[in-house]
């Protein structure tokens, strides 16, 4: 392995996290052996398992490794046995610290509809067949963090709850820059969603995105859309979109709407990116959208595809290997088309497979596609 090998920190976490991550590491090995991917894997603990061993949901030493990694592959954290821990010790704090310390301000949530799963969508198949959109959500600013915030006692039995929506120029520009850059690698269209009709931050968001567009990305098509209309359009005609960029609050909601166009939680990948350094490399973490699924943990029932598709995003965005990402996506598509399904996406006629069997089916499809 050369010294240029990518440093990948693998954090399987709790519940089904280790089960799905095992399949991911097998696929990473396959890309190493067959496609020349040079990746050095280091494993560590996060979440409840880290708390059990060290008394903390993530250690400083593990954070240090994450800061030095080219990509972090994260499984899932949490479980009922940790529900009553103090706030600072909860498994989820490990995830939040990673996002905060790595300064991952851009959250990428694709909504990709595999042909074999069009029937699983709550929309008509023709509306979602071939769907491929990407929501870029601002992750570290906006109303979830703005000050002042809190609940105030006004006396006379009255209280006041306050949250503050606040954005600075650079917070808007850096996430919109990510969206424009990604659009250039896709279908070259960005919709910017805000509420400039009723919110000052919305007015400023619209002005800043246009300024950036003029200065750096005039070759990309930019369209403004009000966030409420965006929600309607996502369920009316989702294929009109390519990349949607939006703030933290609207992104939270719109990305869940978009994700559900495509069916099961076990199929949804995500990526979170930080600012590029002088060499153009961004800190990055890749994780399935689902949690640790304690109800099925240890039973071999978990669908590993969300985590595998998260690795496909790592191939595309951290390792600049778009062709390999396409290959992995196509292998997943072939496996689904062959009728193999974990229980969460099974139909009465499909062949039910375990987590390991699904991982093996993807490896087999990769071999078939490249032989
Ligand atoms: P969950 O996503 O773990 O599970 C919701 C439902 O979906 C369950 O019925 C589960 O069996 C099913 N499911 C989820 N992933 C699946 C997969 N890959 N294959 C098949 N079925 C799958 O959400 P929850 O039950 O609300 O939370 C469980 C724990 O996970 C909690 O402790 C929660 O805090 C934590 N959580 C962690 C993350 C994360 O680590 N990013 C995200 C969400 C929830």
Note the pTM of the prediction, 2 decimals: 0.91
Q: What pLDDT is stored for residue 58 in this prediction?
A: 98
The pair of three-digit structure tokens given for residue 184, joined into one six-digit string: 């250039």
Mean pLDDT over residues 172-197, rounded?
Answer: 96
Is there an atom of ligand 1 within 6 Å of 305 CB? no
CB 76 near ligand 1, within 6 Å: yes
Tell me if 265 CB under 6 Å of ligand 1: yes
Q: Do domains 1-105+274-371 and 111-267 have the same CATH topology?
A: yes
User: What is the third-level CATH fold of 1-105+274-371?
Assistant: Isopropylmalate Dehydrogenase (3.40.718)
Q: What is the pLDDT of residues 223-237, one digit of tens each?
A: 999 999 999 999 999
Question: Which residue is closest in CA terms to ligand 1's atom 32?
Answer: 78
Establish whether 228 is a catalytic residue.
yes
Whether 300 is in the pocket of ligand 1, judged by its Cβ within 6 Å, is no
Q: Tokens for 349?
A: 């006629």
144 is catalytic: yes
Looking at the predicted structure, is the pLDDT value of residue 368 above 80?
yes
pLDDT at position 126 over 80: yes
pLDDT at 87 over 90: no
Q: What is the 3-state secondary structure (H, E, C) of the chain?
A: CCCCCEEEEEEEECCCHHHHHHHHHHHHHHHHHHHCCCEEEEECCCCHHHHHHHCCCCCHHHHHHHHHCCEEEEEECCCHHHCCCCHHHCHHHHHHHHHHHCCCCEEEEEEECCHHHHHHCCCCHHHHCCCEEEEEEECCCHHHCEEEEEEEEEECCEEEEEEECCCCHHHHHHHHHHHHHHHHCCCCEEEEEECCCCCHHHHHHHHHHHHHHHHHCCCCEEEEEEHHHHHHHHHHCHHHCCEEEECHHHHHHHHHHHHHCCCCHHHCEEEEEEEECCCCCEEEEEEECCCCCCCCCCCCCCCCHHHHHHHHHHHHHCCCCHHHHHHHHHHHHHHHHCCEECHHHCCCCCEECCHHHHHHHHHHHHHHHHC
Question: Catalytic residue at 256?
Answer: yes
With 80 as the cut, is the pLDDT of residue 306 above it?
A: yes
Picking from 109, 137, 102, the residue whose alpha carbon sits closest to that of residue 277 is: 102
Pocket test for ligand 1, best of 107, 120, 265, 308 (most atoms within 8 A of CB): 265
Task: Give mean pLDDT, residues 140-154.
Answer: 93
- The residue whose CA is least distant from atom 12 of ligand 1 is 293
| % of the chain exceeding 70 in pLDDT | 99
Distance 207 CA to ligand 1 centre (A): 38
The pLDDT confidence band at residue 25, using thresholds 50, 70 and 90, is very high
> Can you give the residue ranges of every domain in the chain?
1-105+274-371, 111-267
Q: Name the closest-CA residue to atom 17, ligand 1.
A: 266
Write down the catalytic residue from 14, 252, 324, 329. Answer: 252
CATH top class, domain 111-267: alpha beta
Tell me, using a 6 A CB cutoff, whether residue 94 lines ligand 1.
no
Looking at the CA of residue 293, tell me the nearest atom of ligand 1.
3
How far away, in angstroms, is 290 Cα from ligand 1 center?
5
Q: 311-365 pLDDT, tens per residue?
A: 999 999 999 999 999 999 999 999 999 999 999 988 888 999 999 999 999 999 9
* Ligand 1 near 302 CB (within 6 A): yes
How far is ligand 1, taken at its centre, from the CA of residue 75, in Å?
A: 11
Let me know if 219 is a catalytic residue: no
């Amino acid at each position: 392995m050369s010294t240029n090998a990518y440093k990948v920190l693998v954090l399987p976490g709790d519940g089904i996290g280790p089960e799905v991550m095992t399949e991911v590491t097998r696929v990473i090995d396959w890309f190493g052996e067959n496609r020349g991917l040079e990746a050095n894997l280091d494993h560590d603990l996060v979440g409840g398992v880290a708390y059990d061993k060290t008394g903390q949901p993530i250690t400083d030493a593990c954070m240090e490794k994450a800061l030095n990694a080219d990509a972090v592959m994260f499984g899932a954290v949490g479980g009922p046995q940790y529900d009553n821990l103090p706030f600072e010790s909860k498994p989820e704090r490990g995830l939040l610290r990673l996002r905060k310390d790595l300064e991952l301000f851009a959250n990428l949530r694709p909504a990709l509809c595999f042909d074999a799963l069009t029937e699983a969508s709550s929309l008509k198949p023709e509306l979602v067949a071939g769907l491929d959109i990407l929501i870029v959500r601002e992750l570290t600013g906006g109303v979830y963090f703005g000050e002042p915030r809190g609940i105030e006692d006004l006396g006379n039995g009255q209280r006041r709850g306050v949250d503050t929506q606040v954005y600075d120029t650079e917070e808007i520009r850096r996430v919109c820059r990510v969206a424009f850059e990604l659009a250039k690698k896709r279908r070259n269209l960005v919709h910017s969603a805000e509420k400039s009709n009723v919110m000052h931050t919305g007015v400023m968001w619209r002005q800043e995105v246009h300024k950036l567009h003029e200065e750096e990305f005039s070759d990309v098509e930019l369209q403004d859309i009000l966030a409420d209309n965006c929600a309607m359009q996502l369920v009316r005609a989702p294929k009109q979109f390519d990349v949607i960029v939006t703030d933290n609050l609207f992104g939270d909601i719109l990305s869940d709407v978009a994700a559900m166009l495509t069916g099961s939680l076990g199929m949804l990948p995500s990526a979170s990116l930080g600012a590029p350094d002088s060499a153009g490399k961004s800190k990055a973490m890749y994780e399935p959208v689902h949690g640790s699924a304690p109800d099925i943990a240890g039973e071999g029932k978990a669908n590993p595809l969300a985590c595998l598709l998260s690795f496909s995003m790592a191939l595309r965005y951290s390792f600049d290997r778009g062709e390999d990402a396409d290959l992995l996506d196509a292998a997943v598509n072939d496996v689904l088309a062959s009728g193999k399904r974990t229980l969460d996406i099974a139909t009465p006629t499909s062949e039910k497979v375990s987590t390991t069997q699904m991982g093996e089916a993807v490896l087999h499809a990769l071999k078939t596609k490249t032989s």
